[in-house]
Amino acid sequence: MVATNLAGRILKVNHAGEHGAVSIYSGQIFMARFTAKLLLPELLTFRAHEENHRATFHNELRRRGLKRCKSYWLCAAGGYVLGIGTGLFGANAISLTTVAVERTVLRHLRHQTELLADDADAISAISSILSEEQEHHDAAENHNRTPGVFGQMLSSALAGATESVIWLGMRI
């Protein structure tokens, strides 16, 4: 029962996180039309991936009879604001955002596969998105130039914010 409850909480938070990721990319896509047009095709592809990831977790929650996480709309609103804000600063800030968020998310997803080793369905849902999340990280990292002080501060703040949202989602 404890493992089932943990799996349910993790899947809810992952679903909310994917909703937040869709919102981040939506905000960045809006701003990239003005600040980073060359990134638009990639951002559109990444958002489509995140929409599929969100659907994967939604389907698993529905199969288990679980409601979405209470942080679902918070992730959406925060993600959109983050996307607009980082998109305002252009291609480097957009790429730094993807790297910082995906690095944090990938670490959590890999840890989740260890925690939920006895739940094949949860592992399947999580494992099904890992390669695309890694692809987002790697592609964005290839765009980054030397981040400088602003980039390092942005990256640290984004990683901390992502950790905080995951922590909060697991507790509400």
Model pLDDT for residues 42-83, shown as the tens digit of each residue: 999 999 999 999 999 999 999 999 999 999 999 999 999 999
Q: What is the pLDDT at residue 147?
A: 72
Question: What average pLDDT is seen over the chain?
Answer: 94
pLDDT at 108: 97
Whole-number Å distance between alpha carbons of 96 and 143: 9
Whole-Å CA distances, 12 to 102, 121, 148: 18, 14, 36
In the prediction, which pLDDT does 23 show? 98
Task: Please name the fold of domain 1-171.
Answer: Ferritin (1.20.1260)
* pLDDT value of residue 4: 62
Q: What pLDDT does 151 receive?
A: 86
pLDDT digits (tens, 9 = 90+) for 128-145: 999 999 999 999 999 877
Residue for token digits 């592992």?
Answer: 123
Residue 148's pLDDT is: 84
- Render pLDDT for 99-123 as a digit per residue (tens, 0 to 9): 999 999 999 999 999 999 999 999 9
Q: Is 13 exposed, middle or buried (0-12, 13-18, 19+ CB in 10 A)?
A: buried
